[in-house]
Amino acid sequence: MIYNENQLVQIFIIIAPLFLIIFASALLQKFKNIGDEWSKVLNEFALKIGLPILIFSALAKTSLSFKAEAPLIIANSLFLFLSFVLAVIVGKILRLNKQMFLTLFICFVFGNVAYLGVPVLTALSGVQILPTVSLIIAIYLFWLFTIGIGYLDYSLDKNKKDVAKNILKNFTKNPLLLAVIFGLLIGSFKIAIPAIVLKSLDMISASVTPTVLVVIGLFIGTSKVGKLSEWIPVLLFSLFTLALFPAGFYFGVKFFGFAPSQFSSSIIEAAMPLAITPFALADKYNLHKTFIARSIVLSTILSVVSLPFWISVVG
């Protein structure tokens, strides 16, 4: 059900403070020239401490039923797999060179489901949505660090023999994925965590949303404008992913007889702009760094309009 104009405005008002923090941080970085160490420190905190604790805490307090969540797991897994396939098809049609193809391959599925997805969905639905969001993030991480990063490793001749080892290494060193695993274990076995520990975890969790929003803003603030013509492929990519991916998820679940409202969190996550992570992978895998940086910036800006629309669509 699509909301009316007043409801769209209400949705925008709910998520507007999130983007206000992002763009205020970007302006601060642009004009005050905040040192790179700020961005690195905040990003390290968010990635290795804040978000993992937020996800762990949410899952540890809730006992998820994998049988009940099977449709969510299957739908998101199928969506990501088809996104990889679509990247291959688009790469073949456009006859992209190896660097641009690998860039497209990983960027098609690396939406900002954690850094921006968590703040947006909790702003809309409250903290009770966190277990579901955490499970969606876990699904994304699993496929990204198996098919996604595995294919990038395989594409490098020197790493063909080490693909399986690198996938396992990525799993064991990924703090977000470890937080999901341990959170699910504690929640499933109903292991009681002392109240004083939970209080400490909640205090750290409360700092996550503003921190990750500032990190996104600082990254945007470091981007160079460049020539207008250089932004055309970036604009096409951003419009393509922000429109097609949530639309594909939405009509896909309808095709299989489900109500889109059952997968509202998944559809909103599919509508997220490009995440920062591919930029961090660019040097290691020889990806198109400038294209990635500009796509992060432009897709985030455009999501100010596209996200309220998709939120209204899924109700």
Higher-pLDDT residue of 104 and 36 is 104
Query: What structural domains does the chain harbor?
Result: 5-314 (1.20.1530.20)
pTM for the complete prediction?
Answer: 0.85
**43 pLDDT tier (thresholds 50, 70, 90):** confident
- Residue 16 near residue 308 (C-beta atoms within 8 A): no
**Average of per-residue pLDDT across 48-76:** 87
Is 4's pLDDT higher than 70?
no
For the stretch 126-151, pLDDT in tens is 888 988 998 899 899 889 888 888 88
C-alpha atoms less than 13 angstroms from C-alpha of 161 in its C-beta half-sphere? 1
Higher-pLDDT residue of 12 and 309 is 309
**Average of per-residue pLDDT across 214-227:** 84
pLDDT of residue 299: 93
- Residue 295 near residue 274 (C-beta atoms within 8 A): yes
Is 83's pLDDT higher than 90?
yes
Q: Cα(221)–Cα(224) distance, rounded to whole angstroms?
A: 8
CA angle 70, 72, 73 (to 5 degrees): 65
Is 2's pLDDT higher than 60?
no
Is 253's pLDDT higher than 90?
yes
**38 pLDDT tier (thresholds 50, 70, 90):** confident
For the stretch 185-206, pLDDT in tens is 898 888 888 999 989 999 999 8
**246 pLDDT tier (thresholds 50, 70, 90):** very high
> Coil, helix or strand for 93?
helix
